[in-house]
Amino acid sequence: MKMLTILAKLQGQFFNLMRIAIFIVMVWIGGLKAFQYEADGIVPFVANSPLMSFFYHNPSEYKDHKNKEGEMVQKNIEWNTQNGTYTFSYVLGTVIVIIGLLTLLGIFNNRLGLIGGLLTAGMAIVTLTFLITTPEVWVPNLGGDLPTPQYGFPYLSGAGRLVIKDIIMFAGGLIVASDCAKKLLNDSKRG
């Protein structure tokens, strides 16, 4: 019973822990968007997304110019530069860092935290659409003699496993947004 009481009393601190967790993930992931390997890594997601492919100049050509993680093939880097890959990645990274910062500021300012939480949830929804639009999120059919195929749906690739985790970011964003909304409503009743 004592443990339940302690957990219940700490709920407000757990909301703040969620804000801090979202901030850490957003700043880290957003910051990595400034590096070539990360910008190269998001190309299949952006190129296949009807919500984002227009940011690239030639999204349909990405498969011919993919760098594997950490690879530095100069002709692919040149294509990605001309495609707008790196510029888009820098802008996206900046937006992600700002969303993380807004979410964190919810500890001190409920309006900013509400915006940050809602943007976190919205960004997660966009990311989750990649499960529908990006072929690379599913294990490809590489052949083999197994009686039951182990490719395609529901077999998530490494990229797919990365994307599915955004369900947690979606929920976390809504949790911190709802906490800020509750506080704003309480403040308006008092004022």
Question: pLDDT tens digit string along 24-79?
Answer: 999 999 999 999 999 999 999 999 999 999 999 999 999 999 988 888 899 999 99
Question: Does pTM top 0.85 for this prediction?
Answer: yes
Q: What is the pLDDT of residue 148?
A: 73
Q: Give the pLDDT of residue 186.
A: 94
Q: Contact, 104 vs 19, CB < 8 A?
A: yes
C-alpha span between 130 and 45 (Å, rounded): 6
Low-confidence ranges of the chain (pLDDT < 70): 146
**Predicted pLDDT of residue 47:** 97
Residue 144 CB neighbour total at 10 angstroms: 8
Give the distance, in angstroms, between the CA of residue 111 and the centroid of all CA atoms in the same chain: 22
